[in-house]
Amino acid sequence: MDERLTVAMPKGRIFSDALDLLKEAGLKLPRELAQDSRKLRVEAPVEDLSFLLVKPVDVPTCVEHGVADLGVVGKDVLMEEERDVYELLDLQISPCRLSLAGKPDWQPVLNPKVATKYPRIANRWFREQGQQVEVICLNGSVELAPLTGLADRIVDIVSTGQTLQENGLVELQEITRVTSRLIANRASYRLKSRRIDKLSERLARVVTGEGVLR
Ligand code: PRP
């Protein structure tokens, strides 16, 4: 049985933290597994691993469809995408929060417009708050929305707070805390459970500070 594992890695904010974690777990990885690499599939023959470098939002898609056995992805993307995958481990890397933000002088209006990359999460959260809003879906530079009048408020990731600050916006309310997770394809988890458990355990030991398992 083919025991090689394919791992979907998210290019962008999480990538270097995820790579550091894999290295800390003692995995011997090729140099070409790097954020700035144009190569989209990287083999790590020593570990019998194959990596796919994809957009964060595409990690759960690759894992659900089984082109990757495993994936590293932020809880924000996982919550938004609602894919049928196993969440194996909280890797506790790239911590940030998903928050409601806006201009400091914002006055309540009826049916405010909220710009976000997370329409499902935002719609659900506002519904739970009993607030009616119009959600406007953007794919990036969400902080521009309140500055240009496209939206009254935003729901977006806040990490250092620098993007909000540099655009004269303030965090109004935290919606949820976010860290990155290890996810698995359901069939892979059954068919390759030995290898997946071993890799997951190696990562878990780094996360909990128990030391490297080789
Ligand atoms: C996220 C988020 C904010 C920024 C927040 O974007 O959408 O724009 O990071 O980080 P900060 O609080 O440290 O300033 P990301 O860099 O993931 O890229 P994207 O906008 O292309 O999704």
Closest residue to atom 20 of ligand 1, CA basis? 140
Phi/psi of residue 61, nearest 5 degrees: -65, -45
Per-residue pLDDT of the chain (214 residues; tens, 9 = 90+): 558 999 999 999 999 999 999 999 999 999 999 888 889 999 999 999 999 999 999 999 999 999 999 999 999 999 999 999 999 999 999 999 999 999 999 888 899 999 999 999 999 999 999 999 999 999 999 999 999 999 999 999 999 999 999 999 999 999 999 999 999 999 999 999 999 999 999 999 999 988 666 5
Closest residue to atom 15 of ligand 1, CA basis? 13
At a CB cut-off of 8 Å and minimum separation 6, what does 47 contact? 27, 28, 29
Q: Ligand 1 centroid vs 158 CA: distance in angstroms?
A: 7
Indicate which atom in ligand 1 lies nearest the CA of residue 13: 17
In this structure, which amino acid lies at residue 196?
Answer: I
Ligand 1 pocket test target in 59, 116, 159 with most atoms within 8 Å of CB: 159
Structure tokens at 176: 């949820």
Rounded to whole angstroms, the maximal C-alpha distance in the chain is 62
Q: Ligand 1 centroid vs 160 CA: distance in angstroms?
A: 9
Instruction: Return d(Cα 57, Cα 38) in angstroms, integer.
Output: 18
Nearest to 48 by CA among 212, 181, 195: 195
SS3 state of residue 180: strand
**pTM for the complete prediction?**
0.93
Ligand 1 pocket member 11 (CB < 6 A): no
- The three-state DSSP-derived secondary structure of 42-86 is EEECCCCEEEEEECHHHHHHHHHCCCCCEEEEEHHHHHHHCCCCE
* Count of alpha carbons within 13 angstroms of residue 64, beta-carbon side: 12
141 touches 119 (CB < 8 A): no
